[in-house]
Structures are given as structure tokens and as C-alpha cells.
Amino acid sequence: MRHTRRFKEVSKLKILRGVVLGISMFSRIPVPQLRWSEENMRYLFCGFPLVGAFIGLFIWLWTLVCTALNFGFIIRAAGLTLIPAAVSGGVHLEGFCDVSDALASRAEPEKKRRIMKDPHIGAFAAISLSAYFLIYFALCCELSLDMRSFPVLVLIPVLSRSLSGLSAIFFPSATDKGLLRSFKDSSDKGVTVFVLITFALLSISLMTVVNPLAGLTSVILSALALLLLFFISKKQFGGMSGDLSGWFLCIAEIMMLAGLTVISLAK
């Protein structure tokens, strides 16, 4: 109730500015360019799940095109694999690569954080990214799309981004500096948490209504991904960072996709 009252008190224009700034930050979707200020950054994370909604929209449109043109499953799977990266601009894949390099180093947390700041891609990042795309593409090839599995596929990007935003706010940060820390410190946590939880619950509810087994599986797998993120961020890096948020998003999405694929084939 407290978050609801806080949400009503905030100017809708301020939230809209934060949403637009968030979409601009986390995607390639053309939106008005706003000034980077602490006021505009207060609601930046509120736009995060909407990027997932746009990805789901493009997945739906791509599926319609494939059906209309009678494309085979390989072309369909290629589009499903590339759409998330195309819409987001690969911003989260960059974090996935940085974390992969850092984890492979088996170094101390401080050195791992320095590795993540290196703008160059390492061998382990290249290997991990190639494996990620290969597995994602293979799962999309095997995925049996119907009226019960397709809505779940469309909602996965929304749920993953909602949880990624919540983890960025609630999990301890690795340092007092960095982009994620500045977003976290500037955000209006009451409104932001309310928006992120609302999107997460809506996604889970819709998934469960259209496909109870797939919805429950997505909840379990995303929760496991959150636990994995918590322990890895704390033990391996000393806390959360923007790269770890991107890494989690990629891991959570591929885990939920794997669960959906297995369920769609087992029916």
C-alpha cells in the first residue's frame, strides 16, 4: 500500500521521462533523447521491462512473417535468436562477455572487477558468447510454437528484465562507483520497485494462465538464476555491477527458453 500511495504522488511526466530514458539506455528503439540528470534517472529502471515488451512484440511480428511467407524452422529460429540482441543493441551481451572473461580468470574479486572493465574481448568471452548463441539457436529450432507456448516465449524478456532490475536495486553493490551504482543511488526505489514487481507478477500470471506448467517452470528457473546471481556476485565479485545484471539477464532467458522448449516437446 505504501508503494501504491507513493506511485500516485509522483508526477506522471517525471515517470514518463524516466521510462523514455530507460528505453534509450537499454535498447536501440528510437525515442526522444533526454538530458542525463539525476531527476530523469530516478525512474530509469521503470522502462526496463518495456524493452522486454518491445522484444516480445518483435518476436510476435517475426513469427507472423515466418508463417505468412512459409519460412522453415531454421529461418524462424535465426530471427528468434537475433531479435533480442538487435532490439537491445547487445548491451546485456557485453556484460555477459565481461563476466565470462572474469569468471574464467579464477582471480581474486578485485582483479575480476578490473577484468570486467577491460574494453577488449577475451578468448573465454568469445567462446562463451559463441556457445550461448549456438545453444539459444538450437533451442529455438526445437521449440514447438503453439497457442500455449508462444505467449510464454513473448513474456520471457519482460520477466527477465523485471528481475534484473530488482536484483540491481536489492543486491549489494560491489563498489561505491560505477554506472549501476549511480542508477541505484539516483532511483526512486519505492516507485521503481512497485513498477518492476508489477511487471514481474503480470508476466508470471499471464504465463501461468495460458500454460500452467511452462509458467511454473519459468518461475522456478528464473528464481534459480537469481540465486545463482546472488551467490556469484557476492563470492566472486564482492557485489553487483552492471555487467552482472547483463549476465543474469542472458542466463535467466536461456534457462527459461530451455524449460519452455522441453515442455513444448513433451506434450
Express each pLDDT in 169-197 by its tens digit. Answer: 888 887 766 666 666 666 777 888 899 99
pLDDT of res. 176: 66
Q: For residue 173, give its domain range.
A: 47-266
pTM of the model: 0.90
Residue at 31 is within a domain: no
> Does residue 195 sit within a domain?
yes
Where is mean pLDDT largest: 76-85, 110-119, 229-238?
A: 76-85
Instruction: Read off the pLDDT of residues 82-126 as tens digits, 9 standing for 90 and up.
Output: 999 999 998 899 999 999 999 988 888 888 888 888 788 888 999
Task: Report the domain count for the chain.
Answer: 1
Of 176, 29, 130, give the one whose Cα is nearest residue 89.
Answer: 29
What does the pLDDT read at residue 190? 84
**Inside any domain, residue 35:** no
pLDDT at 50: 94
**pLDDT band, residue 6 (cuts 50/70/90):** low
| Mean confidence (pLDDT) of the chain | 88
Say if 262 falls within a structural domain: yes
Q: Give yes or no for residue 2 having a pLDDT over 60.
A: no
Q: How confident is the model at residue 228 (pLDDT cuts 50, 70, 90)?
A: very high
Report the amino acid identity of residue 52: G
44-71 per-position pLDDT tens digit: 888 899 999 999 999 999 999 999 999 9
Specify if 209 maps to a domain: yes
In a domain? residue 248: yes
Task: Calculate the alpha carbon distances from 205 to 7, 37, 209, 225 in Å.
Answer: 22, 35, 6, 19
What CA–CA distance (Å, rounded) separates 229 from 233? 6
So what's the pLDDT on residue 10?
57
Q: Any idea which of 32-41, 143-152, 214-223, 234-243 has the lowest mean pLDDT? A: 32-41
pLDDT digits (tens, 9 = 90+) for 140-170: 999 988 888 899 999 999 999 999 999 988 8
- DSSP annotation string for the chain: -HHHHHHHHS-HHHHHHHHHHHHHHH-----------HHHHTTGGGGHHHHHHHHHHHHHHHHHHHHHTT--HHHHHHHHHHHHHHHHTTHHHHHHHHHHHHHHHT--HHHHHHHHH-SSPPHHHHHHHHHHHHHHHHHHHH----TTTHHHHHHHHHHHHHHHHHHHHHSPBSSS-SHHHHHHHHS-HHHHHHHHHHHHHHHHHHHHHH-HHHHHHHHHHHHHHHHHHHHHHHHHSSSB-HHHHHHHHHHHHHHHHHHHHHHHHH-
Tell whether 158 is covered by a domain.
yes
pLDDT score, position 87: 95
Is residue 93 one of the residues assigned to a domain?
Answer: yes
